Amino acid sequence: MAKELFWKDMMVICPHCGSAGTVHFDREKNIALFQCDSCYAKQETVSCGVDNVEINAQCTLTGRFFRNIIPKHKVHGQKVKVKCPYCGELIAGDVVKDMNEQKIIFQNVRNAEDPYFHYPLYFQAQYRGKVIWALNREHLQYLITYLSADIRTASEALEYQFSKLPTFMKTAKNRDGIVKLLMKLQEK
């Protein structure tokens, strides 16, 4: 399964009616489109994802490392001042040069929201206080297959994504419960 399958269309909760909607990123036009099949709400945003850069920094007050995603047009050199998410202090961070679109999207989607409109993902649930999510039905099915397999192998295209799966999802004691939860999400 190619990585494009997962990132192309994301199922989200429509902010107008609460039903399932779709966020689609059109790479050629560099726009993201939201559409709800129930209430027919539509929204469009331009200049998404690929026009952002990652900033890595360490807070001088807390000592904690953090990453921040900012628009590329705000970067004018190798260092950029960004706000520490832990204490709010402005910190000089390093610009990451080799930032690809998939990494940006994955970084932003960690909060179980799409990275363009910040609508909640349709396929999400709590497991022991942690959020489990999938981008769409194909991603949901792949997670079920991957986590329930005795021997897990990820294709090269998906290696980055699955190496970043939270440890609690890959832990043997949690896998069965998470797979059951993911299978319930399939019924939505």
Instruction: State residue 1's pLDDT score.
Output: 39
Nearest alpha carbon to residue 122 among 9, 1, 28, 44: 9
Taking the whole predicted model, whether its pTM rises above 0.85 is answered as: no
Encode pLDDT of 122-180 as tens digits: 999 999 999 999 999 998 998 898 888 776 555 544 554 555 677 888 788 998 999 99
Nearest alpha carbon to residue 128 among 188, 169, 164: 169
Encode pLDDT of 63-85 as tens digits: 888 878 777 778 888 888 988 88
By the 10 Å C-beta count (0-12 exposed, 13-18 middle, 19+ buried), 107 is classed as: middle
- Residues 83-104, buried b or exposed e (16+ Cβ, 10 A)? ebeeeeeebebebeeebeebbb
Q: In the structure encoding, which two tokens stand for residue 139, read together?
A: 């991603």
